[in-house]
Structure 1
Amino acid sequence: MTKAMKKAERLLELTEKAKFIRLETVRLVDIAKSGHYTSVFSCAELFSVLYYHVMSVDPKNPKWADRDRFVLSKGHAAVGLYPVLADLGFFPKDWLDSYTRVGSPLGDHPDMRKVPGIDFSSGSLGQGLSVSVGMALGGKIDKKSYTVYCMLGDGELNEGQIWEAAMSAAKFKLNNLVAIVDRNQMSLDGFTEDVMPVHPIDEKFRAFGWDTRQVDGHDLSALLELFDEVTSAPREKPLVIIADTVKGKGVKGMELNNDWHLGYLVEEDRKKVEEEINLGLQPRS
């Protein structure tokens, strides 16, 4: 098989995984009767690439000391991460059917004490990068080769703790830390540039001593190339990847529509959304 053929095959696989993430999110929110569809839809391709291509993890040994770590700082998107963890075998798939029900380990936000594969119990925004700095520094001290990946929402960049963590990461030369900003343009209160402008994100992180990259967060081909590059080349600094995304991507009525930050689809609308996702995004070579 040629290199081009292998890439095309991988792109098709990752496209299907991103579609799977969106569809399972719709299904699980239907169980809960409320949920964060659009916050998952903006990062579905990122979840797909990270878990099915980039990170070194072992579902049979979730606490493996040498695994890569993933911190979902935007913890409200956990409904899209759970299907990935179940698909990989971290826990039985039938756990998904109990999502948010009384006694279920799967809550609206992830709990590292209850869910294999979850490295940090997130929910309160702004804390994930600090925790990731601690994990990366621990890896340095223990002479481990793992990488810590931290996914942030662009709205939570308003939290001062993020920038304290950014300073610390540069100070300790944490080249084993990769932050990924899901730049989906919106937060709970509206467009980020209206609520509290965060632009230019790249210049801010560079000023704090980070390497920066920018990418279309829905272009799987571009994501593959970028992650292959940054995971193969040595770095001296922490790295932030600014992924330009669309909140609600894949469902036109939800895209950049803040009425859907938290919501619920009645049966007729759910079927239309599932059909739209199934027709959905095609891989770009």
Structure 2
Amino acid sequence: MTTSTPPDTPASAPPPAPRRSPGFDDLPALMSLMTGDEKHDAAATSTLDALWVLHDRVLRVSPDRPGDPGRDRFLLSKGHGPMAYYAVLAARGFLPADWLPGFGSYDSPLGHHPDRTLVPGVEIGSGSLGHGLPLAVGTALGLRARGRSGPRVWVLVGDAELDEGSNHEAIDFAGAAGLDRLHVLVIDNSSASHPLPGGAASRFTAAGWSALTVDGRDHEALYAAYTRPHPGRPHAVVARVEPKHA
């Protein structure tokens, strides 16, 4: 009786390695996909580290439920040069990376200023400087009126944007009202026309805010500043980066 030899059975393939979530080191490659007619490269790269640490380690908002009423709110007032913001949103799963190459094109949802009706995770349509901080104050007031004490409100502004009078009114009101769920992230690249002698943080502390100035490229310093307790007061973090003209 002849016994046939069974064909060789291939060894089981090893299980695929778990897919790695994009990290900070992936952001330059994501930004490089956006080749549209962008005139604010320095404005974009100045925010990259501060945006990443905030979205990766601090903000409580999920791409699976971007409209969750209990989410933290992030408002980008410094809306020009949004490439870093789009890259961070793609890395965090709010939008597909294959949207990025269309940046700035006629039919792309990724415009030269973010549009909250087109881009998941975007809270406001930003454009004119000086609007974001007052909108953040209104958002914090609205959450307080609804009895929502959990969500935090963050707004990113530029140092030159603080020249706008609307921001000074918002800073004074928020300090007097004790809006302790309100946080302002100032990207300071020495572009303000009227810089304060004591630095940007002095404007906030004069109005009763908690405020810190840190190296805007130091991730651990940024995280420590973002999470510093500030009971009963709004909080400002001034992130110093290289001057715009450098």
- Residue 27 of structure 1 corresponds to 33
CA contact (8 A) 1:212 1:241 kept: yes
CA contact (8 A) 1:57 1:67 kept: yes
Q: Does 1:153 align with 2:146?
A: no
CA distance in 2, matches of 1:23, 1:216: 24
Provide the alpha-carbon RMSD of the alignment.
2.0
Change (3 A) 1:247 1:20: farther
- Residue 242 of structure 1 corresponds to 238
Q: Which amino acid aligns with 1:67?
A: R
CA distance in 2, matches of 1:78, 1:218: 18
Q: Which amino acid aligns with 2:217?
A: H
Gap runs ≥5 in structure 2? 1-19
Q: Does 1:93 align with 2:97?
A: yes
- Residue 268 of structure 1 corresponds to none
- Residue 223 of structure 1 corresponds to 222
Q: Secondary structure at the match of 2:87?
A: helix
Q: Which amino acid aligns with 2:32?
A: V
Q: Percent identity?
A: 34
1:229-263 CA distance string (max 9 Å, x none): x2xx3511111111111146xxxxxxx34xxxxxx
- Residue 270 of structure 1 corresponds to none
1:201-255 CA distance string (max 9 Å, x none): 2222111121111111111121222233x2xx3511111111111146xxxxxxx
CA distance in 1, matches of 2:173, 2:224: 29
Task: With a CA cutoff of 8 Å and minimum separation of 6, indicate the structure with the bigger relative contact order.
Answer: 1
Q: Secondary structure at the match of 1:166?
A: helix
Q: Secondary structure at the match of 2:81?
A: helix
Change (3 A) 1:159 1:121: same
CA distance in 2, matches of 1:116, 1:177: 22
Q: Which amino acid aligns with 2:103?
A: Y
CA distance in 1, matches of 2:223, 2:176: 29
Following TM superposition, by how much is the alpha carbon of 1:196 offset from its aligned partner in structure 2, in angstroms? 2.3
- Which is higher, the Rg of structure 1 or of structure 2? 2
1:162-216 CA distance string (max 9 Å, x none): 0111122122210000101101112xxxxx3xx3223422222111121111111
Change (3 A) 1:117 1:124: same
**TM-score normalised by the chain length of structure 1:** 0.74
Q: Which amino acid aligns with 2:66?
A: P
**TM-score normalised by the chain length of structure 2:** 0.85
